[in-house]
Chain A
Amino acid sequence: MADAKTIDPKEGPGVRLWNWLTETQVWTSVFRHGRVNSDRNRVLVMLSNVFLHLHPVRIRKSGVKLRYTWCMGGLSFFLFLVLTFTGLLLMFYYRPTLEYAYTDIVGLREHVPLGIMREMHRWGAHAMVITVWLHMFRVFMTGSYKPPREFNWSVGVIMLVLTLLLSFTGYLLPWDQLAIWAITVGSNMARATPFLGHEGPGAALLRLGDVPLIHAYDDARFALLGGSFVGEGALLRFYVLHCVGLPLVIAVLMAVHFWRVRKDGGISGPL
């Protein structure tokens, strides 16, 4: 029945080239499905590709309607890819040390070719925070957090936090006054971590006799900053977290998120 719908263009040099190319051993070893001329092969395109198989093979008509999804999840992913790529390029010119960090940022604007690269990274980051929030808003308003999708909602909440942490860590890297004091204020919140912050509730209980186990030099804030104030240790730690640690975690969670959409029956439909 599916075979009834096959379409096979037969003529032309482009077709001949395409036919030759898709029959080479290299091509057929990579793409392990026949020509995309039947429903079966369209399914195989999705199922035989490690990236595409995270996506549902077929989706509801409503799933491609902009007025239903706003495409905010897709835009968030797109912006993540943009940020990964531009961020990788910025890393070729940026050194996370007290001596160079600020001047390298200025140099990225003033004399590095395509001085817009850092602005793309910066505005892309702002945009991603916005699209992630709007995606969450859409998911909430369409009730898509309800079972069986409650697990994927939770994964999404974690990724929202990671997105904000990526913004937070990236904010320090220009190493100007705005960055330093914003991170000083922001990281001071970690002092109040329950039990793990030296000014937090319960921390005073963790002591051996007169010796406090949680103090300003071993609490959560200290581990975050790699020091007792926002200095060279904090700059390096935030750089590593921003460029490697957090993107790695969020990439894994994105794979889970997309895969889970498929396992939960595709994106939710209108009620």
Chain B
Amino acid sequence: MPDDTKPEAPAPKIAPPTGGATAASSATGPAPGAQATGAGPAATPHAPPPARPAAPRPPAAPIPDLAGKTTTAASPGGAAAKAPAKPAATARDADDTSPLLTRRAWMAVAWGAFSAASAAALAATGRFMFPNVLNEPPQQFKAGFPNEYGMGVDERWKEKFGVWIVRVPDDVVARASGFYALLVTCTHLGCTPNYLPAEAKFKCPCHGSGFRTTGINFEGPAPRPLERARIVLADDGQLLVDKARKFQFELGQWTDPEAFLKA
């Protein structure tokens, strides 16, 4: 803002060619560092050793200044530059007590560090809300041996793992006898239907959706059949159910060999 708009003390805002007057850049060589004149940051150019002392011509290209902005000599700060800048010294005098870092550069560094730290803290806070370990039943489980199941809907895993294991003599899709695993999540809004053996259907208590034992919806608001989970035989001959792999009827996925276990 009103930093160096006064015509009396307008030093050309020219940044060191390294792009930042950090302490490191000052320490590497005989660069004089920037020179602050109290109120305004008046960085003296030190790149060309015989720096022009007076009336600097506008540089050809915009030079990024320390605050990240781009300024040219035609900007208010540089346009009215008449006062001669101090001749750049090639080495810092022993009794030179001027700061190595201009006030503006220090503020840029400080705000940058503060912003970065704040962003990191915000990201860490967000990450904090996503737990690494869940106290939930696993997606994949062994459901016992096939000969432990009779024909029809078996509810023994409904409570713990959220699946019905259904054994049928003739599946609607596979046209074979065997097993499929139905997920107990209603396809309407996610409640858990009840199995009604007398009517041989799944009935959702929330909004009344009904499903055949095949999983196909036939009444109520549910828009699509129940999903089936991957069911295969494990190495030890047990049924292996994997809820992470789902098969949707309306996508033609029930024909997948792992959606139905022939037995």
Could you tell me the dominant secondary structure of chain A's interface residues? helix
Residues of B contacting A103 with CB < 8 Å?
Answer: none
CB–CB A184/B136 < 8 A: no
Q: Does A123 contact B (CB under 8 A)?
A: no
Query: Which B-chain residue is minimally distant from A222 (CB atoms)?
Result: B130
Partner among A185, A226, A231 whose Cβ is within 8 Å of the Cβ of B206: A185
Instruction: Chain B residues near A188: list those with CB within 8 A.
Output: 189-190
Query: Given that A185-B189, A188-B189, A188-B190 are known contacts, is A223 also in contact with B136, CB under 8 Å in the complex?
Result: no
CB distance from A190 to the nearest CB of B (A): 11
Task: Check if B135 is an interface residue, CB within 8 A of chain A.
Answer: yes
A231-B136 contact given A185-B206, A223-B129, A223-B130, CB 8 Å threshold: yes
Chain A residue with the shortest CB-CB distance to B207: A185
CB proximity of B161 to chain A, nearest CB, Å: 12
Digitize A5-29: 1 where CB-to-B-CB distance is under 8 Å, 0 elsewhere: 0000000000000000000000000
Q: Which residues of chain A are near B192, meaning CB under 8 Å?
A: 181
Contact with B along A214-226 (1 / 0, CB 8 A): 0000100011001
Contact A184 B191, CB 8 Å, known A218-B130, A222-B130, A223-B130: yes
Residue among B189, B190, B205 with the most chain A CB within 10 A? B190
**Interface residues, chain B, with chain A CB atoms under 8 Å away:** 129-131, 134-136, 189-192, 205-206
A-B contact pairs, 22 of them (CB 8 A): A181-B205, A181-B206, A184-B190, A184-B191, A185-B189, A185-B190, A185-B191, A185-B206, A188-B189, A218-B130, A223-B129, A223-B130, A226-B131, A227-B134, A227-B135, A227-B136, A229-B136, A231-B135, A231-B136, A232-B135, A233-B131, A233-B135
Residues of A within 8 A of B (CB): 181, 184-185, 188, 218, 222-223, 226-229, 231-233
Q: Which 8 residue pairs across A and B have the least CB separation, nearest first? A: A185-B189, A188-B190, A223-B129, A181-B191, A184-B190, A227-B134, A181-B206, A188-B189
